[in-house]
Structure 1
Amino acid sequence: MTSLNDATSDQRTAIVTGAASGIGRAIAQRFATEGMAVVCADLNAAGAVKLAADLSAAGHRALGIAVEVTDEASVAAMAARALEWTGRIDTAVANAGVMVEGDILSISLAEWNRALQINATGAFLTARAVLPHLLASPAGTLVFTASTVGLVGMKGTAAYSASKGAVVALTRQLAADFASRGVRVNAVAPGAIRTPLSESQFRARAADDAEFESLLQQVIGRYPISRWGTPKEIAEIVLFLASDRSSWMTGQIIPVDGGLLELR
């Protein structure tokens, strides 16, 4: 298998949005250990900077910056800062997102718009900002974080499902548009991943620790591999999609879901 830093290339630069915690944090850490220079971007600027400092202290090359993925100027500034830092962008992971729960009769228009703005428009703006630079890379790759609920219907996730369905469609469309120009575009579709964000959502629903654990078990009960997934498990698949190891793949949506979609 070809390393991300093979003997014929300089160190590659990756941007990861939503990098301050959860899946994004795990992706940034995994890219760094693989030898990439990593731009850790997040609305939580302090968290992004702290992650970059930790990676740098461990001997990796990392930069932490703030980004608001729904703001075109902020996303453009993120790409410009990455170029200023290393002079190249080889990989971008459009991972920043938000969960909005509720069926279509219970959510507000503001909640609907929030899900679409952050998850779908944020992915669009990130892709548009980095694609000119990915085209200049000898092996440009773009990876989106989609979701299993963007592939099948699940109860109580109207806005989230619609926004992640848009990410799925955008992945395939960009793959078709840019395959002949040397940029590969794929997506990972996680199932239930235990992160600080997902835990906080279940904590908010639970009256006590016992109910919290019961809610977590209810989720696990739907999965053939009867446990929650981990951010590190998603990061490994994203690394594969970003690397030369997947060099003949584009337009793919890879479920990483404990068998949920195929075996339930």
Structure 2
Amino acid sequence: MAHCGSLPNEPAVSRSLSGKVAFVAGASRGIGATVAASLAAAGAAVAVAARSEERGKLPGTIGSVADGIIAAGGRALPVACDVTSEGSINAAVEATVGTFGGIDILVANAGVLWLGPIESTPLKRWQLCLDVNLTGVFLVTKAVIPHVRARGGGSLMAVTTTGVGMVDQGANAYWVSKAATERLYLGLATDLQPDNIAVNCLSPSRVVLTEGWQAGGGFDIPPEMVEPREAMGNAAVLLAQQDATGITGTVQRSEELTP
């Protein structure tokens, strides 16, 4: 589905999300934390959702991200959420609705990385990528849709990767799971258009050097191929502004979407 209307010319950060509520899954660090802060800076109340209630091997927790948003003058709620558990997701969504009154925006960002060749990929790693990166998106989206519909429309976005199209680079579990997520969301855009809900995928235009990338065995990246995290934050704010009359049914690249 091609988007309806034209791309806004204003920078994403200039468009207010005041009165909106966003649920950001996978928000304790990296792209998710940046997107959560960007949505809050644009006026949205943000549920910072992830498993990381306490600091582990990687920095960042739902509490530290929420505290940072609040310290900057925003509204945030840390909610524990394991996207592989339907019960955990439902509890996190209900906590968000109970505190903020509803949900208008979903950012399905929770993910795990595995870039190893297929022949040396353990089954458990393959399954984990599918469980988190695909089934997790399905479950959190399924839980949020009724609440967005109840608000008269809104915006859903799943964070994917340019690696989906890099077939000359071989195959791996991560790219396969993200490709399936793109198909899920492109089809869902058609299903939810009558409900005035925009559904899009968003990926970095280049590589964002997150903690997960570095810990997950991401290969060395030349400096010119590195994208600042803020590009994803700005693009997410712009997509969060959409409903089914705007940009929907698309796969967007961050630096192509915003100035």
Which band: TM-score by shorter chain?
0.7 to 0.9
Q: Distance in 2 between matches of 1:63 and 1:108?
A: 36
Unaligned runs of 5+ in 2: 1-9, 55-60
Residue 232 of structure 2 is matched in structure 1 by 234
Larger Rg: 1
Comparing 136-145 and 106-115, the one that deviates more: 136-145
Please say if residues 102 and 147 of structure 2, whose CA atoms lie closer than 8 Å, have aligned partners that are also in contact: yes
Deviation at 1:140, TM superposition (A): 1.2
Quick one: distance in 2 between partners of 1:87 and 1:115? Answer: 32
The structure 1 residue matched to 2:189, chosen from 160, 175, 188, is 175
Q: AA paired with 2:187?
A: Q
Q: Is the 8 A contact 2:105 2:240 kept in 1?
A: yes
What are the equivalent positions in structure 2 for 1:1-264 lying under 5 Å apart? Answer: 3-5=16-18, 11-46=19-54, 47-155=61-169, 157-190=171-204, 191-201=206-216, 216=220, 219-220=221-222, 226-244=224-242, 247-256=245-254
Q: Aligned with 2:167: secondary structure?
A: coil
Instruction: Work out the CA distance in 2 between the residues paired with 1:91 and 1:63.
Output: 15
**Deviations 1:122-153 (CA, angstroms, capped at 9, x unpaired):** 00001000000111123311010011122331
SS of the residue corresponding to residue 117 of structure 1 reads helix
d(CA) in 2 for partners of 1:113, 1:199: 21
Amino acid at match of 1:115: C
Identity fraction in percent? 31
AA paired with 2:211?
A: P
CA shift for structure 1 position 156: 5.3
> Matched residues in 1 for 2:171 and 2:32: separation?
22
- CA distance in 2 between partners of 1:157 and 1:99 (Å): 13
Query: What is the TM-score when the length of structure 1 is the normalising length?
Result: 0.83
SS in 2 for 1:45: coil
Report the 3-state secondary structure (helix = DSSP H, G, I; strand = E; otherwise coil) of the residue aligned with 1:193. coil
Q: 1:239 to 1:257 in 2, by over 3 A?
A: closer
Note the alpha carbon deviations across 1:21-80, whole angstroms, 9 max, x for none.
000000000011001100000111231012112211222110011110010000111110
Change (3 A) 1:29 1:12: same
Gaps of 5+ in 1: 6-10, 206-214, 259-264
Give the TM-score, by structure 2 length.
Answer: 0.85
Aligned to 2:57: none
Secondary structure at the aligned position of 2:119 is classed as coil
Aligned-residue CA RMSD in angstroms?
2.0
The higher-RCO structure (CA 8 Å, 6+ apart) is 2
Determine the structure 2 residue equivalent to 1:212: none
Aligned residue pairs, count? 236
- Greater mean alpha carbon deviation, residues 67-76 or residues 144-153: 144-153
Sort the Cα spacing of 1:166 and 1:36 in 2 relative to 1 into closer, same or farther, 3 A: same
Give the superposition deviation at 1:245: 8.9
